[in-house]
Amino acid sequence: MVAVKFHRCLIDRRCYDEMTVNTLSNTMPRHRTSLIALVLLAALSINAACQRERESLISQLPLPPKFFYQNRLSIELFREADRLARQEPLSAERIGRLGMTYHAYRFTDEARQSYELARNIAPNEYRWIYYQAFLEKSVFDFRKAESLFQRALEFKSDSAEVLAELGDLYLKWNRPDDAATHFTKALTIEPLQPLAALGQARLALITERWDEALALLVPILNTHPRLSLCHKYLARAYVNLGLTDKAEHHLSLSDYGSGIETPLMRKLHELSVGPIVNGGKPEGAFDLMQIKCTRCHTSTRIEVTHQDRYWWAQTVRRMQREAGWAWLSDEQASGIVAYLADRETGPAPP
């Protein structure tokens, strides 16, 4: 018997696994032989079309960029994500994952290219719409971000999170009425939605509605006690109400603390944490930390905070995302993580 490999494309643009068609011996009736010949011809044609589509998609994947500030483990992370995407170019999951990896390290163009390709393959997959909306918002392409967030709302019309993001987008875009509308909708669905509460409070502060701002902000600290922007807004409200002691207290807590991170964005950011958790060299990290880590807060805050390696890696990665990898490379980041995590048992700094 002769095994014939037969591939045909699925509706969702993937290919079937290999299927085996067996022919009978030469005694098979002629009409059956002709039928098999037609099937083989169709299979070859479909297989060729499938291969062309795969090659087309591979050519649309972003070329790996030059890595100047990433360490070996980070580069391996990129190479593996790129390898998997090229191995299965009809997989929106793998291409989207590649986009997430680029996004986590702020390779904006490569991330956008990956997300758009993933959305073409799986237009109804919410995550790639959501992630690209965040990406466009971060680079101030507000019109494109608006379109993508609105598309996300078509999938989840009652998402307080997306409504809050749209409101925040409009606030940055200087469209306060649209911002207020979306913040109100978000808070109606989820009264303690932190981004919506912060945005609505900011609008209240702008119009000097101090008590309204307090009513929005105070409950948020129960779930986000280190939210620096919340403390900053509270300080402003209290000082205008003449409550200077409370204002000073919140102002002291308003230097760099935690930010608001949605579950999906947390999953994206986690991709980059592993490469700086271990392997760092703490030598010289103390002096480096005084330069790099005090750009947003005092060294005292660092000294009184004691956490494990992973927590510090998450924190340092957030600093890299905001300040840039040129400001703090992976080698420097992993060294700071090593110093901060090991200082309890290590020698005191000179």
Q: Indicate whether 252 belongs to any domain.
A: no
Q: Are residues 178 and 76 in the same domain?
A: yes
Q: Are residues 95 and 47 in the same domain?
A: no
pLDDT surpassing 60 at residue 4:
no
Q: Are residues 18 and 132 in the same domain?
A: no
Query: Structure tokens of 261?
Result: 């991170």
State the total domains in the chain. 3
Q: Which of 105, 15, 101, 119 is nearest to 60 (CA)?
A: 119
Query: Structure tokens of 131?
Result: 């992630």
Partners of 20 in the beta sheet?
A: 5
Per residue in 213-268, pLDDT (tens digit) is: 999 999 999 999 989 999 999 999 999 999 999 999 999 888 766 678 899 999 99
DSSP label of 349: P
Q: Indicate whether 262 belongs to any domain.
A: no
Per residue in 274-329, pLDDT (tens digit) is: 999 988 888 888 888 888 777 666 667 777 778 899 999 999 999 899 889 999 99
Output the domain CATH number for residue 303: 1.10.760
Q: Please, which pLDDT band fits residue 14 given cuts at 50, 70 and 90?
A: very low
Per residue in 174-212, pLDDT (tens digit) is: 999 999 999 999 999 999 999 999 999 999 999 999 999
Q: Indicate whether 226 belongs to any domain.
A: no
Q: Are residues 55 and 77 in the same domain?
A: no
Q: Indicate whether 174 belongs to any domain.
A: yes
Greater model confidence, 67 or 290: 67
Q: Indicate whether 11 belongs to any domain.
A: yes
Expressed as residue numbers, the domain containing 76 is 72-221
Q: Which residue has the tokens 């490379």?
A: 329
**Considering 221, 237, 263, which residue would you say is the last residue of a domain?**
221
| C-alpha torsion 160→163→169→173, nearest 10 | -140
- Give the integer Cα–Cα distance in Å for 314 and 318: 6
Output the domain CATH number for residue 203: 1.25.40.10
**Considering 221, 238, 255, which residue would you say is the last residue of a domain?**
221
Q: Are residues 210 and 330 in the same domain?
A: no
Between helix 263-270 and helix 92-104 the angle, nearest 10°, is 80
Helix (H, G, I), strand (E, B) or coil at 3: strand
Q: Which of 57, 65, 52 is nearest to 118 (CA)?
A: 57
Q: Which amino acid is at 239?
A: V
Q: Indicate whether 240 belongs to any domain.
A: no
- Average per-residue pLDDT in the chain? 86
Q: Indicate whether 109 belongs to any domain.
A: yes
The pLDDT, as a whole number, for residue 279 is 86
Do residues 206 and 216 lie in contact, with contact meaning Cβ atoms separated by under 8 Å?
Answer: no
The widest CA-to-CA distance across the chain, in whole angstroms, is 102
Q: Are residues 128 and 201 in the same domain?
A: yes
Q: Are residues 147 and 43 in the same domain?
A: no
